[in-house]
With several copies, the nearest count.
Chain A
């Protein structure tokens, strides 16, 4: 039994070689690990490896393939890559090489101002629109010279998290936002 697992930019091949009760033998990219592996609670595990004690908490992110992972000292984002995920990844790549970027709302909010029109050429750093969310106004800027391919929102409109707002056409891929917000001292 083996899968690919993605962590940061690394994709590792994991293989379960053997299992007897709590004793596991697993290979990660060919390196073998003999582990004492016990479940504490739903999604929470204690692992002893060469007497070292590791605690791993898995918090699912949308389903069973993606996890936010806490260890004692670190946090990670991990994804199990199975057939479906591979298909989606290849499709995503196709889009990207097409030279388009979709600017999406990171959190729910309201579009305060749209500062460009469809078809308009924009400079690097030029503000495309302003989104108001969580007591704060954020400017969404173009990371490089580009063309506004599509405007999917209008002023005053409410948007959901991850809702697409603007489609840009350019090569370099970078998105920045810049916001100020009043917090208490």
Chain B
């Protein structure tokens, strides 16, 4: 049984993992780079080990240093969170060689699912539908052209080792094939050190819908229903919800069964996510499997009533799953909004800096997972995700109303952030109707970036307040000058009364 957990991550996910460990009575070890000595996960864990300089490659991605920290602190298990080493088969393998429990799948499952072409082949063999396209890497332009000829335009060229939207190119016209192929391969080479690409049919008006699965070491596997993740900007999810507004119960059951079959095909153990691309006729195709906890896992936790991190730990402990597929159900509706330190007005440029003030929403149906505090300096080395708002309602309407309420109350000062942008998303007609695809942000860009109109009283009161604060500070600096003003209220009202006669 696991006795002490090292969390090989930072930010909100490290804090979130530590919370569940704390509830289970498990001591935790945080790791931190130079930039993160004051980060919340360091403050919140029972122990903390320094693992190197600020760039992730020298700290959070440094396998030696992390294994060293586990040795030093006596941690017998490592939770990798998401990102960083979470989908690195070498790290998973190394942990097991060191006798440290890796809270995640085997390196075999990670590498099978990590390479897109291998994953495609494995899924096809398991009877899981995949997007029409090549099953082998494409290396020559001629080959590419002939494949495109077969499956028909539009197509998507994707880096085999890719992720996060890098090394992807959409081709709509035959004349674009060559340049797109060249660009995708060069980007893939730079980003992943591997220029293998493959070609897939491009699905128009697609939905991105993923299924959460859990599988133990005793042959049990269940799915915990879907998450609708189509609100994306450049393949980065921003708002997620569950249930998906477009799925039918029948299709949900089919896709859930497919997701479980996909996990079984790689003898999966742990928590994982099967991502599907779904077209407007609800045809669905396997996209990829994420062999780790997902950023948006809390919406599943809320509607299914399960703590996914605890489930991961139980599975890593070799315990059998206690969840039964036939007893699982979706209870109400949940929405997650990702709060980023970024400037929507300036092309979503990351905006590090010092957080001077935070107002966090509370009350019925509201959960906030975050990693910032007043006075915290957001470092510029890492993902700018600083908080997640997770809202539950008894149905989609209530969840939306509550999300709006919570976003209005949410304030972060000192760093630019996307809270207003999120508000505009949840108020956008397409989102309100649940009628949106992955093109939603792009299609509504203008409206989503427009400043809100403001009633003029409100603006005037802001002006007055700033003015009064300035006067107060000036008065403090040079007292006396302004005192003359203080007691002329009576005189003034007398004058006004006279004027009214």
Chain A residues engaging chain B, CB cutoff 8 angstroms: 1, 3, 5, 7-8, 10, 12, 14, 16-20, 23-26, 28, 31, 33, 35-38, 40-41, 43-49, 51-59, 64-65, 67-76, 78, 80, 106-109, 133-136, 138, 176-185
Contacts and interface: CB of A to CB of B under 8 A. Distances in A.
Contacts of A134: 350, 352, 380-382, 384
Contacts of A14: 463-464, 467
B449 interface: no
18 contacts: A10-B459, A17-B492, A41-B375, A52-B47, A53-B46, A54-B458, A59-B357, A65-B470, A68-B413, A69-B462, A76-B462, A134-B380, A177-B346, A178-B347, A182-B164, A184-B385, A185-B164, A185-B237
Nearest to B460: A28
A26 B343 CA distance: 34
B69 to A, nearest CB: 9
Contacts of B489: 18-20, 23, 25
B281 interface: no
Contacts of B452: 73-74
B179 interface: no
Contacts of A52: 46-47, 457
B174 interface: no
Contact of B383 (A20, A44, A178, A183): A183
Contact of A69 (B48, B83, B352, B466): B466
A3 B49 contact: no
Given A64-B473, A177-B349, A184-B295, A12 B463 contact: yes
Nearest first, the 9 A-B pairs at minimum CB distance are A20-B489, A41-B375, A134-B350, A182-B164, A59-B413, A184-B83, A134-B380, A56-B465, A18-B492
Contacts of A69: 462, 465-466
Interface residues of B, number: 85
Contact of B485 (A16, A38, A136): A16
A17 to B, nearest CB: 6
Nearest to B232: A185
Given A18-B492, A76-B459, A109-B380, A70 B464 contact: no
B165 interface: yes
A108 B408 CA distance: 31
B464 A46 contact: no
Interface string B450-488: 011010011111111111111101000000001001111
B469 A43 contact: yes
Q: Which interface residue of B164, B383, B462 has the most chain A CB atoms within 10 A?
A: B462
Contacts of B385: 183-184
A57 B48 contact: no
B466 A33 contact: no
Contacts of A49: 457, 461
B344 interface: no
A180 B72 contact: no
Interface stretch (B37-45, B91-99, B301-309, B389-397): B37-45
Contact of A185 (B295, B454, B459, B471): B295
Contact of A64 (B82, B458, B470): B470
A18 B414 CA distance: 33
